[in-house]
Amino acid sequence: MSEPYRLYAITHSLYSGRARAYLIKQGIPFRELSTGHESFKAEVLPKGKLATIPTLVTPEGEVIRDGAAIIEHFESANDRPCRPLGSRQQIVSALFDVIGSDGLLRPAMHYRWNFPADNLDFVRYHFLHSQRNTPARAEKTERMMNRMRHAGMIFGVTDQTQDVVETLYLEYLDALNAHFKRYPYLLGWRPSIGDFGLLAPMYAHLGRDPYPARLMQQRAARVYRWVERMNRADQDAPEYFNAGSDFLAGDEVPETLVDVLRVLAEDFVPETLAAAEFINAWLEKEQPEAGTPAVGRLAQSLGNAEFTLRDRTISALVQPYRFYLLQNVQDIYTALTPEDQASVDQLLENCSMINILTAKLDRRIGRANNLEVWEA
């Protein structure tokens, strides 16, 4: 028997949850290994370029670093099973992919790192097992954790903003819970690319760390069930009577999902606009050569952008990755007929998300050798 796919990942990692769920749902056999295994540093890292998870090794030995690239590897080979056909659903699916991958880091980091009495021992277990078993293991674990300890603050959670961040998260949780009353997935009866993106923060951090997991279980049972469901190969929807099996007919985007997007727009839109302005000024000044990596670790960020959420000023780290994924939404839109564009415009107006269509960087981001890079 040939070696199955190897997924370098671990349970507490945000981006791993997205790729893992995709493999599970698509019935792709894999073996999961933490980065603590010697093979990661010795064999995988030289090809993956950055020590980030998830990183996939195919049975042929190809190394694919980055959750979006892992999913795209299978989507492009299999006729895009997780991309809906209708234009409105396609846009919403791609938009949830961005929001999940980069737009919910503030609550995810806040609820993980700012409740240490509940979370810290649990989180430490996972950080420890991501480290190689060397004498320096415990010390390295603390160093990694110290690097992340202030992640809530890095994304804008301070004494002045904590209440508004929590209120917004709870409103979003309630809206999503109401949506799942009708359907088991975002766009109906099966998961789309957007479900996998949204799972990233909702699984490892918000749906699994002790403090936020309890919050989700007690306040939003249907969201908790969706998190479970996304990690099962079957449809896992016994509580829905008369369930279908496909995306909703007629390119429908249910009103309940519009309500979710409207809450998410409150910080996603102003943050995206502020980050685009910031990165464009940076690009103007730095003029990175084509092919220069547009990705780095948390500590090597380009800087912070400020925006207003309700009546508070939030200062949050900017990450080009948001725009790498947002390009997908904008490219789908550009390829639509004028009639379909008009229909999408109406939908996005209704979600207060219309401005994301024009929030663009002056340079596109591509991929080369497992890294996101600035294009010419």
Ligand X SMILES: N[C@@H](CCC(=O)N[C@@H](CS)C(=O)NCC(=O)O)C(=O)O
Query: Segment near ligand X (CB under 6 A), from 7-15, 221-229, 250-258, 337-345?
Result: 7-15
CA–CA dist 28, 273 (Å, integer): 38
Size of the site for ligand X (CB under 6 A): 12
- The reply to whether 54 sits near ligand X by the rule CB under 6 A is yes
Among 14, 105, 151, 253, binds ligand X (CB under 6 A): 14
The SS3 of residue 254 is: coil
Q: Which is nearer to ligand X, 200 or 351 (CB)?
A: 200
Q: Quick one: which of 51, 120, 170, 357 contacts ligand X (CB under 6 A)?
A: 51
Do residues 171 and 263 lie in contact, with contact meaning Cβ atoms separated by under 8 Å? yes
**From 61-69, 159-167, 237-245, 268-276, span contacting ligand X (CB under 6 A):** 61-69
Q: At closest approach, how far in Å is the CB of 171 from ligand X? A: 25
Nearest approach, Cβ of residue 151 and ligand X (Å): 11
Query: For strand 371-374 and strand 365-368, is the pairing parallel, antiparallel, or unpaired?
Result: antiparallel
> What's the closest the beta carbon of residue 129 comes to ligand X, in angstroms?
14
The two tokens of residue 193 are 């690319």
Per CB under 6 A, contacts with ligand X among 21-40 are: none
Q: Which helix (H) or strand (E) holds 65?
A: strand 63-65
Of the candidate residues 40, 44, 66, 193, the single one contacting ligand X (CB under 6 A): 66
Nearest to 216 by CA among 153, 272, 172: 172
**Min CB(254)–ligand X separation in Å:** 28
CB atoms within 10 A of CB 276: 22
Q: Which residues have a Cβ under 8 Å from the Cβ of 54 and sit 6 or more positions away? A: 7, 8, 9, 13, 15, 16, 18, 19, 20, 65, 66, 67, 70
* Closest separation in Å from C-beta 347 to ligand X: 26
Which of positions 106-165 make contact with ligand X (CB under 6 A)?
A: none
Site string for ligand X, 303-332 (x = CB under 6 A): ------------------x-----------
Q: Whose Cβ is closer to ligand X: residue 57's or residue 175's?
A: 57
Nearest partner of 363 among 263, 289, 252, judged by Cα? 289
Nearer to ligand X, 88 or 208 (CB): 208
Give CA–CA dist 109/151, Å, rounded.
Answer: 6
Please list the residues that pair with 312 across neighbouring strands: 309
Interface positions with ligand X (CB under 6 A): 13-15, 51-54, 66-68, 297, 321
